[in-house]
Structure 1
Amino acid sequence: MIRSMTGIATGRGAAEGHGWSWELRAVNARGLDLRMRLPEGVPGLEAALRARLGAALARGSVTLSLRLVPDGAAAGPAIDATRLDAALGAVAEVEARAAVAGVALAPVRATDLLSMGGVLSDAAAEAVPEALRAALLADFEPVLAAFLESREAEGRALAPALRREIDTIERLTGAAAAAAGDREAAAAEALRAALDRVRAAVEVDAARLAQELALIAVKADVAEELDRLAAHVAQARALLDEGGAVGRRLDFLTQEFTREANTLCSKSGDTALTRIGLEMKAAVDRMREQVQNVE
């Protein structure tokens, strides 16, 4: 089963005197980009989470956020009364010394005091017991499972759309083969008529004529392109059946499909074959849009 690169999951938990909430989300990316927004003071938590995500995911821009709050603590920063008193005492001493020295100071604002070290603290960022790390990692597992399921659910929706475009490319490959066969008869008749006109006007070297005819035949032949298109169709279906992290290989195949469709158009020399090639390019473009979301 293929998986999408986009997904989201949330979760909540509580243990060891703390409550927390998770948010795990991802969008498309060329590789795997992990971004963490975690509280400080939980030793080893980020490394453990990165290892777990790295083992479960292959591609995507992934953001993991954790909000941790001690039980009974207000969400957000708190004032340390002892350190505030110390800061006020320090400010008073500075102002007294400045007055003796005859130095005028600007009035002290509350924000100045709050910026002094330790006066404003975030209770959620303080050191926490080692047991909390284990509780958080255990609680993260169902969040990750829900996240992977959201990716798989979107992958289940992507797969039929991709198969439809692959079927379209296969159908157009067959139509191109038929059009190329019809084109050969018409082209041969037109070439014979042109040769008759040339022979009637000038003397033609037989060896040079054979060489030029061979070059024309090679340039117009689309058999190799059709064979490669058929092989690419088979490989694309095999990748969808294989599932897992096949997005990069599917993306490469869309490039190959585009290359063959372009060559088909450039070699066609026939309105019907050109029209088929353009339809095929449109189908490949639709397929590429879907593939950009496959892990």
Structure 2
Amino acid sequence: MPVYSMTGYANSVAHPPKAEDGSSTPQASVSVELRSVNGRFLDLSMRMPEELRGLEPQLRELIAARFKRGKIELRINSQREAEGALPQPQPEQLNRLASLEAKVLTWLPKAAPLSVHEALNWCKSGAAAPAHLDSATLEAAQACVDGLAESREREGEKLVAILTERIGRLRELADEAEPLLPAVVQRQQQRFLERWQEALKTSGANASVPQDALQERALNEAAAFAIRIDVAEELGRLRAHLEELTRLLKKGGELGKRLDFLIQELHREANTLGSKSAALELTNISVEMKVAIEQMREQVQNIE
């Protein structure tokens, strides 16, 4: 399955159907736009003409069936052709409007009478969309949803390429760190023993504990110290997380939240590597790892 980004854009236009004689019906065409950015959940907002508000439940269902995460904005515009550009007032609408105007003038005799433009707007707001306009809107919305899915898939391919490159860099850093571990542990252990030896010489004459016992304790402490600064386990877990990231990216699908969790675990291991580091070389590697992981986190935030 492909990996989808939560960033994308698509638009679509549905034209009015042709009449049986081949001529175009003087009604409306519809344009639909979908814009998508990253979000923790599916957050859908809609901007559309009032005459199409009745389609909102169907449009929400259409989008939710295709996308699970992201902040998505739907914009719908209808354009009427010349003959159908103005609303066609119905007699009952005009009668109702005249009755309301007369009632207002009874109470407010100085009120200005309604203009033709105001009357047409009132009739338009109360009119239902033509039947063909509903079908044209749903047709354009379906095409737009398909286009947005393709856009998010293309963007997802780019994100996978970036993440794969960063995963390779983290593996290189882990490979650089691994040969350093035995030498670092041995060097720090030797320093630890040297300091113990100096302490033993300083207090040797007045010590009530036998010299052999102190020497054995020094060796035990040195071994414990070596265990504390050994980061082989952290590197092993880091490699395991990188393998899981690679597997998920190859598998595809809805994996943004799982990737985000693995990025947190990678950051934890890199932090531990830095805090336990007893050599400048390992500290520098830890810093580079954190930079690469932070770059990955920014990209993962955009994956569905």
TM class by shorter chain equals 0.7 to 0.9
RMSD of aligned residue pairs (Cα, Å): 3.1
Report what 1:104 is aligned to: none
Relative to structure 1, is the Cα distance of residues 276 and 83 closer, same or farther in structure 2, using a 3 angstrom cutoff?
A: same
The change in CA–CA distance for 1:141 and 1:50 in structure 2 (over 3 A counts) is same
Change (3 A) 1:195 1:132: same
Q: Which residue type is aligned with residue 161 of structure 1? A: I
Question: Is contact 2:34-2:74 (8 Å) kept?
Answer: yes
Distance 2:284 2:87 in 1: 64
Find the partner of 1:252 among 261, 285, 293. 261
Local SS of the residue matching 1:162: helix
Secondary structure of the residue aligned to 1:121 is helix
- The answer to whether the aligner puts 1:63 opposite 2:66 as a matched pair is no
Q: Is the 8 A contact 1:68 1:124 kept in 2?
A: no
1:21 lines up with 2:31 in the alignment: yes
Indicate conservation of the 8 Å contact 2:46/2:74, yes or no: yes
Distance 1:224 1:122 in 2: 74
Alpha-carbon offset, residue 66 of structure 1: 1.7
Asked if residue 126 in structure 1 is aligned to residue 139 in structure 2, the reply is: no
CA contact (8 A) 1:38 1:46 kept: no
Task: State how 1:55-204 maps to structure 2 within 5 Å.
Answer: 55-71=65-81, 72-74=83-85, 85-95=98-108, 107-109=110-112, 120-121=121-122, 123=124, 126-128=127-129, 132-202=133-203, 203=207
Q: Deviations over 1:175-213 (max 9, x none)?
A: 121222221221132123122212222346456545533
Q: How many angstroms apart in 1 are the aligned matches of 2:247 and 2:74?
A: 33
Q: Distance in 1 between matches of 2:225 and 2:97?
A: 90
Alignment pair present for 1:284 and 2:287: no
2:282 alignment partner, one of 249, 273, 286: 273
Determine whether 1:222 maps to 2:223: no
For residue 197 of structure 2, give the secondary structure of its aligned residue in structure 1: helix
Deviation (angstroms), 1:56: 1.0
Shift of 1:33: 1.0
Q: Could you tell me how far 1:131 is from its partner in structure 2?
A: 5.7
1:78·1:121 contact (CA, 8 Å) conserved in 2?
A: no
1:124, CA displacement in angstroms?
Answer: 7.0
Task: State the partner residue of 1:3.
Answer: 4
Q: Cα 1:219–1:134, aligned 2, differ >3 Å: closer, same or farther?
A: same
8 A Cα contact 1:2 1:159, kept in partner: yes
Listed as ranges, the gaps of 5+ residues in structure 2 are 18-26
AA partner of residue 111 (structure 2): V
- Which stretch shifts more, 81-90 or 192-201? 81-90
The separation in 2 between residues aligned to 1:141 and 1:256, in whole angstroms, is 39
Per-residue Cα deviation, 1:120-142 (whole angstroms, up to 9, x for no partner): 33637622355653443233222
For 2:227, give the aligned amino acid.
V
What amino acid is the match of 2:31? S
Match of residue 264 from structure 1: 273
TM-score, normalised via structure 1 length: 0.82
Q: Deviations over 1:77-107 (max 9, x none)?
A: 99976555444433443356xxxxxxxxxx4
Contact 2:188 2:278 in 1 (8 A): no
Instruction: Quote the Cα distance in structure 2 between the aligned partners of 1:75 and 1:6.
Output: 38
Task: Kindly tell me the number of residue pairs found equivalent between the two proteins.
Answer: 281
Query: How far apart, CA to CA, are the structure 2 residues paired with 1:155 and 1:125?
Result: 44
Among the aligned pairs, what percent are the same residue?
A: 36
CA contact (8 A) 2:188 2:226 kept: no
